[in-house]
Amino acid sequence: MNEEKELTEETQPLVLKRLREKFPDALLADAEVSNGISIVVNKENSYAFLEYLKTELAYTLLVDITAVDNSNLESELLQYDYARFMVVYQLYTFEGETQRIRVKVPVHEKDLKVPSVTSLWKGANWLERETYDMFGIDFEGHPDLCRILMPDDFEGHPLRKDYPLRGRGERERFNFDKQNA
């Protein structure tokens, strides 16, 4: 696990200064981690924030999109107004001093929607589908948001903390010959 370190005005990287100037109300938290910066941004500004990172700050490589279910972490739930999930974007740039940025977006269980970034990074298509399949996060504006790992008729989202460790009997009734349509 990465160790987070609080950033002061003197020690913060230039990229973080620019983000704080451009999005003063959107940043909920930030910290320096061993391999870059970790930032938490509100959902309302997440698309504009990610677009700025790509177009203005040259974070052109989307490494990964995933989510984290914080339902068992009381401190995380309290910190972000009981948002159960965090959608996590890993970005990389080949320019500048801070090459890796992790952007986290809190998502409440009652509103499992975040804007799709497929218009920014074509590679987000499958990553968003995987996150949808495993966690049930809906990416608004996605061109084809459907299951990618589980069968179309599968019920539930296996990476949620409330999903049974041994499943709900899927192995016994899973049809390995049936293909997703």
Higher pLDDT, 71 or 10: 71
Q: So what's the pLDDT on residue 1?
A: 44
Nearest to 159, CA basis, from 108, 104, 103, 84: 84
Cβ pair 91, 59 in contact under 8 A:
yes
Which position has the higher pLDDT, 11 or 127? 127
- What is residue 166's predicted lDDT score, i.e. its pLDDT? 59
Give the tens place of pLDDT for each residue, 80-135.
999 999 999 999 999 878 799 999 999 999 999 999 999 999 999 999 999 999 99
Instruction: Give the pLDDT confidence score for residue 171 in this predicted structure.
Output: 57
Angle at 99 between CA 97 and CA 105, to 5 degrees: 125
Structure tokens at 61: 């490589």
| pLDDT tens readout for residues 44-84 | 999 999 999 999 999 999 999 999 999 988 888 888 999 99
pLDDT at 2 over 50: no
Residues near 148 by beta carbon (within 8 Å), at least 6 away in sequence: 126, 129, 130, 132, 133
Q: What are the chain's domains?
A: 14-140 (3.30.460.80)
Is pTM beyond 0.75? Reply is yes
